[in-house]
A and B are shown apart, each in its own frame.
Chain A
Amino acid sequence: MRKQWIALLALTAAACSGGAAGTGSQEFKGQSVEVVGPWTGDEQKSFEKVMAAFTSKTGAEVKYTPAGDELPTVLQTRISGGTPPNVALVAQPGLVAQFARAGSLKPVNAEVEKAVTEHNAAVWKKFGSVDGKLYGFTFKTANKSAFWYSDKAFQQVGATPPATWDDLVKTSKAISETGLAAVAVGGADGWTLTDWFENVYLRTAGPDNYDKLAKHEIAWTDPTVRKALEELAKLWGDSTLIASGALQTEFPKSVINVFGEPPSAAMVFEADFVASVISTNTKAKVGQDAKFFPFPSVAGSKDAVVAGGDMAVQFKDDKVTTELMKFLASPESGQIWAELGGFLSPNKDIKPTAYPDDVTQDLAKRIVDAGDNVRFDMSDLAPAAFGGTKGAGEWKDLQDFLADPGNVDGIMQRLEADAAKAYGK
Chain B
Amino acid sequence: MDAAPGRSPRQAIPFLLPALVVLAALVLYPLVFSLIRSFFDASGEQFVGLRNYVDTFTDPRTLTAFRNNVIWVVVAPAAVTGIGLVLAVLTERIRWATAFRLVLFMPMAISLFASGIIFRLVYEEAPNQGVVNAVLVGVHDVFSPSSNYPGARPRDGYTATEAGFTANAPARAGDTIMVPLVGFSPQQVPAPALPASVPQAGQGELRGVVWLDVSVGGKAGRIDPTERGLPGVAVEAVRDGQVVARTTTGDDGRFTFPDLTRGEVVVRLPSSSFTLPFRGLTWLGPSLITPVIISSWIWIMTGFAITFIAAGLSAIPRDALEAARVDGATEWQVFRRVTIPLLSPVLLVVFVTLVINVLKIFELVFVIAPGSVQSEANVLALQMWQVSFGTGGDQGAGSALAVILFLLVAPAMLFNIRRFRRERS
Contacts and interface: CB of A to CB of B under 8 A. Distances in A.
A383 B371 contact: no
Contacts of B125: 245, 248
Interface string B279-310: 10010110000000000000000000000000
B33 to A, nearest CB: 13
B258 interface: no
Interface of B: 42, 61, 124-126, 151-152, 155, 182-186, 188, 213-214, 216-217, 279, 282, 284-285, 370-376, 378, 386, 389-393
B386 A390 contact: yes
Contacts of A98: 392
A270 interface: no
A189 B393 contact: no
Nearest to B43: A102
A155 B217 CA distance: 10
15 contacts: A73-B393, A98-B392, A158-B217, A177-B182, A177-B213, A178-B184, A178-B185, A247-B370, A248-B125, A248-B284, A248-B285, A248-B372, A383-B392, A392-B375, A395-B371
A155 B216 contact: yes
A309 interface: no
B389 A190 contact: no
Contacts of B42: 425
A181 to B, nearest CB: 10
Contacts of B284: 248
A384 B387 CA distance: 11
A157 B279 CA distance: 27
Nearest to A388: B391
A179 B390 contact: no
B372 A177 contact: no
A248 B61 contact: no
Residue among B188, B216, B370 with most chain A CB within 10 A: B370
Given A72-B393, A73-B393, A391 B371 contact: yes
Interface majority SS on A: helix, strand, loop or mixed? loop
Interface majority SS on B: helix, strand, loop or mixed? loop
A364 interface: no
Given A391-B374, A392-B391, A396-B372, 8 more contacts: A70-B389, A76-B393, A157-B214, A179-B185, A179-B188, A389-B391, A391-B376, A392-B386
Contacts of A399: 371-372
A188 interface: yes
A120 interface: no
Contacts of A390: 371, 374, 386, 390
A178 B371 contact: no
A240 interface: yes
A247 B392 contact: no
Residue among A188, A240, A395 with most chain B CB within 10 A: A188
Contacts of A248: 124-125, 282, 284-285, 370, 372
Residue among A70, A158, A385, A392 with most chain B CB within 10 A: A392
Given A156-B216, A248-B285, A179 B152 contact: yes
A396 B214 CA distance: 38
Contacts of B183: 176-177, 179, 240
B245 to A, nearest CB: 29
A251 to B, nearest CB: 10
A160 B126 CA distance: 30
Contacts of B185: 178-180
A369 interface: no
A244 B393 CA distance: 35
Contacts of B390: 384, 389-390
Contacts of B213: 177
Given A178-B186, A179-B188, A248-B284, A392 B126 contact: no
B126 A179 contact: no
A182 B104 CA distance: 45
B392 A384 contact: yes
Contacts of A187: 372
Interface string A353-388: 000000000000000000000000000000111001
Interface string A151-163: 0000111100000
Contacts of A391: 61, 371-376, 378, 386
Contacts of A179: 151-152, 183-185, 188, 214
Contacts of B372: 187-188, 190, 247-248, 391, 396, 399
A250 interface: yes
B370 A188 contact: yes
Contacts of A158: 216-217
Nearest to B126: A245
B101 to A, nearest CB: 36
A177 B391 contact: no
Contacts of A190: 371-372
Contacts of B217: 158
Interface in A70-99: 70, 72-73, 76, 94, 98
A188 B186 CA distance: 31
Contacts of B282: 245, 248
Nearest to A180: B185
Nearest to A421: B59
A176 B153 CA distance: 11
Given A155-B216, A157-B216, A248-B282, A396 B391 contact: no
A84 to B, nearest CB: 16
Interface in A175-198: 176-180, 187-190
A155 B188 CA distance: 17
B357 to A, nearest CB: 23
Nearest to A246: B372
A215 B155 CA distance: 46
Residue among B186, B375, B376, B390 with most chain A CB within 10 A: B390
A180 B392 CA distance: 41
Residue among B182, B282, B284, B392 with most chain A CB within 10 A: B392
Contacts of A244: 279
Residue among B285, B370, B371, B373 with most chain A CB within 10 A: B371
Interface in A235-269: 240, 244-245, 247-248, 250
A151 to B, nearest CB: 14
Contacts of A178: 184-186, 214
B188 A389 contact: no
Residue among A158, A179, A385 with most chain B CB within 10 A: A179
Contacts of B386: 389-392
A251 B109 CA distance: 31
B371 A188 contact: yes
